[in-house]
Every structure is written in structure tokens, then in C-alpha cells.
Amino acid sequence: MQALVTRRIPQEGLAVLAQAGVCSFQQWDSDEPIPRSELLAQVAGKHGLLCLLSDRIDKEVLDAAGSNLKVISTMSVGVDHLALEEIKKRGIRVGYTPDILTDATAELAVALLLATSRRLPESMEEVKNGGWTTWKPLWMCGYGLSDSTVGIIGLGRIGQAVARRLKPFGVKKFLYTGSHPKPESAAEFQAEFVPLTKLGEESDFVVVTCSLTPETKGMCNEDFFARMKKTSVFINTSRGAVVNQDDLYQALVSGQIAAAGLDVTTPEPLPTDDPLLALKNCVILPHIGSATYGTRNAMSVLAANNLLAGLKGEKMPSELQL
């Protein structure tokens, strides 16, 4: 059997593939994404595909792969880059990498929230550019978590891990929204299930940790930002497309909300002349939620094992139920 690995991935994952002796594999051995034309050419006839969130696996790719393709293993928990209906129709199995990246991503979400609310990048810049003239009572003030209300959009694995980490900062109340209440998950934080509108109106911090679906696409828009408090901070570690970025820009420029911290944007990478990058009250990171050495190694190993299990027709360690 033959597989295609669409990027340079940690050695740990490649070693699992190489040592298994289940398939030969072709790899796009680069830190940059495989060009679309190469993907279409190299996937032809393959039985397995190990891909990343930056590879759009749609009907065109599936057609190019042909009927040999049994398994797609993505080195991500997000699956919004996969044409799931089309994949299901063809009986192709999908592996993904939940759980093992939850801690790293939640940690990054907290780091981003604190960096944004306490204005860390802006403050560091002032130290470098001479703006730090003396200790000033009204200078570089931000917003603290103590006694605050935190609204989590999507109380899934990462959303709960974020709430768990924020609770000891003295958060007074957690709100959450989703497609349905989750009393068991919410109990640990006494979190209240509310409509999105109420979450926007009452939260001092909004943290977006949901998956990107047709329902969540563009969910944080003008109407949502207009409901938020002028003192509130918006954080997104989910996917850029959950947010209407033009509306977010207007909310930040007009002072409708205090600040935003984004680990994900549309597009990625964000062009260096994007207006959001000119705003002091917007902190943008290059999609590094899961970027610890240990987590990325574990993701590559899990993706490799999912691929191998799929090729062998065995139970995958983490299979997406289609």
C-alpha cells in the first residue's frame, strides 16, 4: 500500500510509519504546504493520506486520489478542511488528533487572554521605544480576571480546559453556549448555558473554542460585537472563519469592545498589511495553539497510528465518527 504525507512532520511520527512496514510513503518534505497541483498529482492511486489543516481535501482531491483511498488522517483536531460528506459517501475513514493537544491549546488561550487584557505586547513595545518615562497611575491599564464573567463559546475539550485554568484567577461566573446544554461538563465550573446574545452582553471575556461548522461560521459578527461591553476582551483560538473580521475591526476601532486576541485568522497567514495588525488593541498570533514540542510530536505519532490502523482495516486510536 502507498500513502502520501503532505508535509514535513516530527520525526517521531515518520518513524512510526517507517517502522510499521505497512505502507511505503511519499512525503512533501517541506515546512511549506504542498502546492495544490502537486497534491493532486501525488495523491493519485494512494491508499492513505496524512494531511494537515492547511490542505483542503475536497471533491477534486478525492477524485484525483481515486478509488484506492481508504483513509485520511489529519494531524489536527479540527476537520473543517475536509469535505466530510463527500468523504463519507466514498466510505473513506478519517483519523484526527483530539485530546492530546487540549492542554497546550488551553494554555495558549490563557496566555493570549492575559497578553491581550494586560496589554503585554503594547507594554513591551513602550519599553523598547522610550515610551516608558516613569511609573504612571493611568498608563497601560487593562482588565483583570478577578470577579469577572467569562463566556466560553463551545464548552468542548478545549473550552473546558480553558475554564479549568481560568477559574483559579478568581473568575466569578462562567457562561457558555453551544448546540445544547452540557450539565455534566458545566458542573465543574457552575457554568450557565445561555444563548449567544446573552453571553455577549454579560461577559467581560469571551473565549471562542468551538469547532468551525456551517452554524458557527461568521457567528461573531457586528450584532454580536454590538452586544458586548465596551470593556470586554474577545479571544479566539478556534478558527478564523467563526469571526467576521471586518466587523471585529470596526468593533475594535470604534471602542465597541476593549481588545481582541486571535490565534487564528482569515486568511492564514494574515497579510502583513491587514488593518487588524495596525491596531494596538489587537494581539495576533500565528496559529500556535498546539505548538509545544511534546504536543506536536504526539500529534504526529497519533496521526501516523490512525493512518496505519485505517490502512490495515483496524480500529483507529482516534477515528472521527462520520
Instruction: Please tell me whether the peptide bond between 267 and the residue prior to it is cis, using omega within 30 degrees of 0.
Output: yes
Q: Which of residues 172-211 bind ligand NDP (CB under 6 A)?
A: 177-180, 209-211
Strand order in the sheet with 173-177: 192-193, 173-177, 149-153, 205-208, 233-236, 259-262, 282-284
Task: Work out how close the CB of 185 gets to ligand DGY at its nearest, in angstroms, rounded to a whole number.
Answer: 20
42 binding ligand NDP? (CB under 6 A):
no
Partner whose footprint covers residue 320, from ligand DGY, ligand NDP, none (CB < 5 to 8 Å by kind): none
Q: How far apart are CA 18 and CA 304, in angstroms?
A: 10
> What is the grid cell recorded at 226?
454590538
Q: Do residues 227 and 219 touch, judged by C-beta distance below 8 A?
A: no
Which residue stretch of 36-44, 88-96, 99-107, 305-313 sits at the interface with ligand NDP (rule: CB under 6 A)?
99-107
Please identify which residue in 3, 39, 51, 77 interacts with ligand NDP, judged by CB under 6 A: 77
Please identify which residue in 153, 260, 283, 307 interacts with ligand NDP, judged by CB under 6 A: 153
Q: Which of 98, 94, 235 lies closest to 153 in space, CA to CA?
A: 235
- Identity (one letter) of the amino acid at 106? A
289 binding ligand NDP? (CB under 6 A):
yes
| 287 catalytic per annotation | yes
Residues lying near ligand DGY in the complex (CB under 6 A) are found at 53, 76-78, 101, 289-290
Q: How far apart are CA 172 and CA 310, in angstroms?
A: 46
> Which ranges of 119-266 would DSSP assign to H, the alpha helix?
120-129, 157-166, 183-187, 196-202, 222-227, 245-253
The residue among 105 and 116 lying less far from ligand NDP, judged by its C-beta, is 105
The residue among 212 and 276 lying less far from ligand NDP, judged by its C-beta, is 212
The residue among 149 and 290 lying less far from ligand DGY, judged by its C-beta, is 290
Partner whose footprint covers residue 148, from ligand DGY, ligand NDP, none (CB < 5 to 8 Å by kind): none
Contacts of 188 (CB under 8 A, 6+ apart): 160, 163, 164
The residue among 159 and 261 lying less far from ligand NDP, judged by its C-beta, is 159
> What is the grid cell recorded at 152?
466560553
The residue among 56 and 167 lying less far from ligand DGY, judged by its C-beta, is 56
Q: How far apart are CA 246 and CA 163, in angstroms?
A: 28
Mode of pairing for the β-strands spanning 71-74 and 48-51: parallel
47, 81, 180, 287: the active-site residue: 287
Task: Work out how close the CB of 207 gets to ligand NDP at its nearest, in angstroms, rounded to a whole number.
Answer: 11
The residue among 65 and 207 lying less far from ligand NDP, judged by its C-beta, is 207
Partner whose footprint covers residue 177, from ligand DGY, ligand NDP, none (CB < 5 to 8 Å by kind): ligand NDP
The residue with its CB nearest to ligand DGY is: 78
Number of alpha carbons in the 13 Å side-chain half-sphere of residue 232: 25
Which sequence positions are flagged as catalytic?
287
The contact set with ligand NDP (CB under 6 A) reads: 77-78, 98, 101-102, 105, 153-159, 177-180, 209-213, 215-216, 237-239, 263-264, 287, 289-290
